[in-house]
Amino acid sequence: MKQLKVSLPDDLRARLDAASAKSGLSVAEEIRSRVEASFAREAADKPTADFIEGVALMPAEIALETGANWHEHAGAHEALVQAIRARLDELKPKGSTAFGDRPHGTVFDDDPNQLGLMVEYRLRRYPDFTHSPTRQLMEDEHQRAKLAKSVRERAARRRRQGLPVSLINEPFDQPKKRGK
């Protein structure tokens, strides 16, 4: 890892010191964390970045309107929920909610509501889940399970067609050609 010497205004250094003390990270770790977060935000596509920016402005506006922070008052919380829902509804694409192939899926459930709850739960409990070895393992296991399911379905189809089912030597979709 390379070191980088940076000069900062006194007020910015004081804010970094305070953030470092609050987070329990060293100043260098705090800087690294914040720089990584800024690059992560840049990686988002424009609609996502615009959505995040809009949502980030909502709590302060709601606090001004209600006189309460969203996390301290049930009514302010509900106002924030409605503001976020309205923004999401504005951006909702037209069309089916069914998913196609999910090469990075970890579960078979295709219900968007269940998937959303699962994603929120995982990221709340394990903020680094997206890039974790656990997620990669689950993704690999999901792909193996999909393949096994596909093999079972093809074998069942061959049985219904009265064709031999040898998963090693027989092609799945074409009957074996017999001699004259």
pLDDT digits (tens, 9 = 90+) for 55-79: 999 999 999 999 999 999 999 999 9
* Band (164; pLDDT cuts 50, 70, 90): confident
Q: ∠ CA(44), CA(50), CA(56), 5° rounding?
A: 100
Residue 46 is assigned to a structural domain of this protein: no
Contact between residue 140 and residue 133 where contact means Cβ atoms under 8 Å apart:
no
What pLDDT is recorded for position 82? 98
Number of domains in the chain: 1
Percent of the chain, pLDDT > 90?
52
Q: Is the pLDDT of residue 169 over 60?
A: no
DSSP string for residues in 56-99: HHHHHHHHHHHSS-TTT-HHHHHHHHHHHHHHHHHHPPSS----
Residue 2 is assigned to a structural domain of this protein: no
Residue 113 is assigned to a structural domain of this protein: yes
pTM for this one?
0.61
Give the structural domain span for 157: 96-180
Contact between residue 142 and residue 154 where contact means Cβ atoms under 8 Å apart:
no
Find tokens 């969203």 and name the residue: 70
Query: What would the mean pLDDT of 42-51 be, rounded to a whole number?
Result: 85
Residue 30 is assigned to a structural domain of this protein: no
Residue 127 is assigned to a structural domain of this protein: yes
Residue 101 is assigned to a structural domain of this protein: yes
Q: Is the dihedral of CA 117, 69, 92, 39 positive or negative?
A: negative
* Band (170; pLDDT cuts 50, 70, 90): very low
pLDDT digits (tens, 9 = 90+) for 68-119: 999 999 999 999 999 999 999 999 999 999 888 888 999 888 899 999 999 9
Please give the Cα distance from 145 to 102 (Å, whole number).
13
Residue of 154 and 61 predicted with greater confidence = 61
Residue 78 is assigned to a structural domain of this protein: no
What pLDDT is recorded for position 11? 95
